[in-house]
A and B are shown apart, each in its own frame.
Chain A
Amino acid sequence: MIRLIRYLTTGIILIVLQTAVLPHFLGMHFRPDLLLILVLYSSLSNVSPCSGAFYAWGLGCLFDVFSGTTLGLYGIVMLIIFCASASTGRQFNRDNNITMIIATIVGTIAQSALIAFMLLCFANTTQSWLPIIKQLPTQLLINLGTIILITVLKQPVVEITQQQKLHRNQRSQSSWG
């Protein structure tokens, strides 16, 4: 339950960032898809696949409240992306940064394709998928840039955490000795 609340809160913070803060700096059409990155991260982390699928769906539905006209579109798209990423991610080394970069590239393409497909199959607007396909290359570059930036910024934090863990282990070993 605490984890669900934590995920939803993170999701809301990222959506607020994406809808109200980033447009002031990056304009309306050049914003990274932070929620997709969060879903991809959770799919490649140690979250259990079953609860992770629920979180992905919940986050997608949350995104729908602030995007488009229909509730549930991003919900189903995020759910499918999570399922695909969680099941194929097991074949790769999840600690390698390249895995996340590849996941972002494939995830962005899959997201655009799935939204276009859903709109084409279910919605009654015939033109809807066109802007999505046109925007895809730009979106791909922006998401890729964002994930590289996150990876670079994350590196020192990871190193510090690892060092602290090592120190703690050494201390506990010496106290036992």
Chain B
Amino acid sequence: MLEFIKKHQATILFFCLVIGALLLYSNSLRQKQHTSLFERGILQLTSPVYQTIDTTARSINDLWSNYIDLTAVRQDNIKLHEQLRQQGKQLLDLQEIAQENIRLRTLLKFQPEPEQHEIPARIIAVDASNWFRTITIDKGTADNVHEGSPVVVAEGVVGRTIKCSATSSRVLLVIDAASEIAALIQHNRTRGIARGKGATLTFDYALRNKDVNIGDMVITSGTGGVFPKGTPIGTISSIYKPDYGLFQTLELTPCVDFSRLEEVLVIQNEEQ
């Protein structure tokens, strides 16, 4: 027996290691929502390095873009003035609608939406592999950011935090294949699930008989318990209706340009 073990020592060790690695992986699968001590330690250890690299990269980038921007500043100024004028009018209209909304809510005795506190964060790193879609931000448990916090920008949903250390957190983007969000189509309130596909999203379980059009906006439904209701996810870019079945599948183009993300907002719930 001992001779057999000695002879096949390497093979037995490899086999044991593979079993051990499999057990660790299956255990991690069950505890996906928690950040392990190992992950927390490594994230904590590398956080200063990431922040230094990010600060250096930003200063170099700012220096370069400030120079480039100077060349087209007059044309930009004229364009922006025109935009400002148009948006000023839109803002007045929206203020009027908001006032009306408040009046109607009071009239119908609607519960006010819970207060949400937003924490601004900078993106300091992206996913190490080319197929998963996660980012690392410079805020962690020390800033009251915890696992499962929604992350947004002005354009729409970015994702949710999955791993948090004291000074940094990892965010799972909505376009990652592991991401699922309860969503609805804005104009006809059709409910479904928005799933990541790598670069785009799909909207599943939309009833086949519902009238949907390309360009329709899809927003969060607020029923998943993570994202606040009404945050834009994407617009419908293609519709697939199979010959039979209850549902149609829609492809969504995300509202957020993930390749140009620099800052995000982490939303804290009232309890946090």
Q: Taking beta carbons and an 8 Å cutoff, which residues of A are in contact with B? A: 12, 15-16, 18-21, 23-24, 27-31, 33, 35, 49-50, 53-54, 57, 61-76, 79-80, 83, 115, 118, 122-123, 125, 127-128, 130-132, 134-135, 138-139
Contacts and interface: CB of A to CB of B under 8 A. Distances in A.
Interface stretch (B35-43, B97-105, B210-218, B230-238): B35-43
B127 A19 contact: yes
Nearest to B50: A20
A73 B32 CA distance: 12
B43 A65 contact: yes
B197 A130 contact: yes
A73 B129 CA distance: 12
Given A49-B10, A53-B14, A75-B25, A68 B127 contact: yes
B13 A71 contact: no
Contacts of A50: 9-10, 13
Given A21-B53, A27-B259, A76 B128 contact: no
9 contacts: A16-B53, A19-B136, A53-B13, A66-B170, A73-B25, A122-B26, A125-B178, A128-B177, A135-B198
B91 interface: no
Interface in B194-227: 195-199, 202
What are the 6 A-B residue pairs with the smallest beta carbon separation, nearest first? Answer: A131-B198, A72-B25, A76-B21, A67-B128, A66-B128, A128-B177
Given A28-B130, A131-B198, A79 B26 contact: no
A74 B132 CA distance: 12
B134 A70 contact: no
A24 to B, nearest CB: 6
Interface residues of B, number: 53
Contacts of A57: 17, 21
Interface string B170-206: 1010001110000000000000000111110010000
Interface in B140-186: 162-163, 170, 172, 176-178
B22 interface: yes
A131 B197 contact: yes
B106 interface: no
Interface string B1-20: 00000000110011001100
B24 interface: yes
Contacts, number: 149
A127 B29 contact: no
A31 B197 CA distance: 20
B57 interface: yes
Contacts of B162: 69
B265 interface: no
B46 interface: yes
Given A71-B24, A135-B130, 17 more contacts: A16-B49, A20-B125, A49-B10, A61-B38, A65-B42, A65-B43, A65-B163, A67-B134, A68-B134, A69-B178, A72-B28, A74-B129, A79-B14, A83-B14, A130-B197, A131-B199, A134-B198
A142 to B, nearest CB: 8
Contacts of A15: 46, 128
A18 B197 contact: no
Given A50-B13, A131-B198, A65 B131 contact: no
Given A53-B17, A131-B177, A131-B198, A69 B132 contact: yes
Contact of B25 (A24, A28, A31, A70): A70
Contacts of A35: 128
Contacts of B49: 16, 20
A139 B172 CA distance: 22
Contacts of A75: 21, 24-25
Among B43, B54, B127, B258, the most chain A Cβ lie within 10 Å of the Cβ of: B127
Contacts of A33: 129-130
Given A19-B136, A127-B197, A76 B18 contact: yes
Contacts of A19: 50, 125-128, 136
A152 to B, nearest CB: 23
Among B22, B39, B126, the most chain A Cβ lie within 10 Å of the Cβ of: B126
Contacts of B13: 50, 53
Contacts of A135: 130-131, 198
